[in-house]
Amino acid sequence: MFDRAEIVVKAGYGGDGLVGFRREKFVPFGGPDGGDGGSGGDVIIMAGEAVTSLKMFARKRYYKAANGGNGGSNKKHGKKGQSLILAVPVGTVVSYKTQIGDNNILADLDQSGQQVVVAKGGKGGWGNTHFATPTNQAPQMAQKGEGSEEKTLILELKLIADIGLIGYPNVGKSSLLAAVSAAKPKIASYPFTTREPALGVVEVEQQSFILAEIPGLIDGAHLGRGLGHDFLRHIVRTRMLIHLADGSSASPLEDMVRVNNELALFDSSLAQKPQLVVVNKIDLPEVRARLAEIREGFTLAGTRVFFISAATGEGIPELMAAAMKMLPSVAQPETTRIKKVFRPQPRL
């Protein structure tokens, strides 16, 4: 599912400060004039449309930004080390492994131009001018430049689905995905069978789209309940949604409203994403017996509803054709605001 690369990045060292003194004719005791070192360059990762895969990172693994220049005489500041900018595709998640092996997400670059500093350059050291005091006017000391950060990063490119398949656990999302694509997600009669988003390519006549099952949406998902936020973030990237409800549930309409509330609580733009609303499991006699009642409920709520059976295939071609037809009319998601990730980092 993922394009993935592991790289090592190292920022530049800070330049050293200088111990220097003014030496000019007719100026005895010219005083200290050692300049400061320049700071080391940062390593920055930036998302851009021009890059489409992480392939280039398979060939080269080590990336280092330039060191800062040393301070010069005459209070000359050392040159700042140039930062190194690595371009990655939009949709790349940047993380690093902590010492205990956890994956710590640094940034989720889902917008072109979005960037994150992954290794901070060392600060330049002070030259001896900073150390002059009334009692020590010729200080013989200067600071060394600081060391710089080095990190092993994991870059993961998430494939972006056109359509997200959402709904309460156990409503038949995996069954539908398996019925319409070559994907083989696990299907079972208990909730949370699917633990990771599953993708499939759906072909409708000569065209196709990517459908992704988004698992784990329950009450409180926006607070991290169920399988947590992570999957809600996937929905942000989709263009539209197929919202599945279980016809055998006490109230499919209420289930749908609940899931929609979770979407809105997580990110109000999600609630505005176009949805095709679908009631599943109409092969079950008890569901078939109340189809009219269910339809009326949705109609009163102002929602057009599709009826399908992922088990028998009934209604599925019509649903997929409707999805394919609707897709061109919905814009690419404006993957919302730039999410800056601020994380205080201990200085080296």
Ligand X SMILES: Nc1nc2c(ncn2[C@@H]2O[C@H](COP(=O)(O)OP(=O)(O)OP(=O)(O)O)[C@@H](O)[C@H]2O)c(=O)[nH]1
Residues that bind ligand X (CB under 6 A): 169-175, 187-189, 191-194, 215, 280-281, 283-284, 309-311
Residue pair 241/273 in contact (Cβ under 8 Å)? The answer is yes
- Residue 309 binds which of ligand X, Mg ion, none (CB < 5-8 A, kind-dependent): ligand X
Residue pair 157/53 in contact (Cβ under 8 Å)? The answer is yes
Rounded to a whole number of angstroms, the minimum distance from the CB of residue 332 to ligand X is: 27
Burial 31-54 (b: 16+ CB within 10 A, else e): ebbbbbbbbbbbbbbbbbeebeeb
Shorter beta-carbon distance to ligand X: residue 23 or 195 = 195
Binding to Mg ion by residue 175, rule CB under 5 A?
A: no
- What the block records as the tokens of 162 is 């056109």
Of 183, 209, 158, 164, nearest to 53 by C-alpha is: 158
Classified as helix, coil or strand, 79 is coil
Rounded to a whole number of angstroms, the minimum distance from the CB of residue 188 to Mg ion is: 8
Shorter beta-carbon distance to ligand X: residue 148 or 174 = 174
- Residue 210 binds which of ligand X, Mg ion, none (CB < 5-8 A, kind-dependent): none
Residue 232 to residue 135: CA distance in whole angstroms? 63
Rounded to a whole number of angstroms, the minimum distance from the CB of residue 37 to ligand X is: 56
Q: Is 23 exposed, middle or buried, given 0-12, 13-18 or 19+ CB atoms closer than 10 A?
A: exposed
Residue pair 270/234 in contact (Cβ under 8 Å)? The answer is no
Shorter beta-carbon distance to Mg ion: residue 191 or 333 = 191
Rounded to a whole number of angstroms, the minimum distance from the CB of residue 168 to Mg ion is: 11
Rounded to a whole number of angstroms, the minimum distance from the CB of residue 327 to ligand X is: 22
Shorter beta-carbon distance to ligand X: residue 95 or 170 = 170
Binding to Mg ion by residue 194, rule CB under 5 A?
A: yes
Residue 162 to residue 212: CA distance in whole angstroms? 8
Rounded to a whole number of angstroms, the minimum distance from the CB of residue 221 to Mg ion is: 15
Shorter beta-carbon distance to ligand X: residue 44 or 310 = 310
- Closest chain position to ligand X (CB): 172
Residue 257 to residue 245: CA distance in whole angstroms? 10
Residue 214 to residue 92: CA distance in whole angstroms? 18
Q: How far is CA 257 from the centre of its chain?
A: 27
Q: With CB under 5 A as the contact rule, which of the stretches 58-66, 137-145, 187-195, 337-345 interacts with Mg ion? A: 187-195
Shorter beta-carbon distance to Mg ion: residue 44 or 244 = 244
Site residues for Mg ion per CB under 5 A? 173-174, 193-194
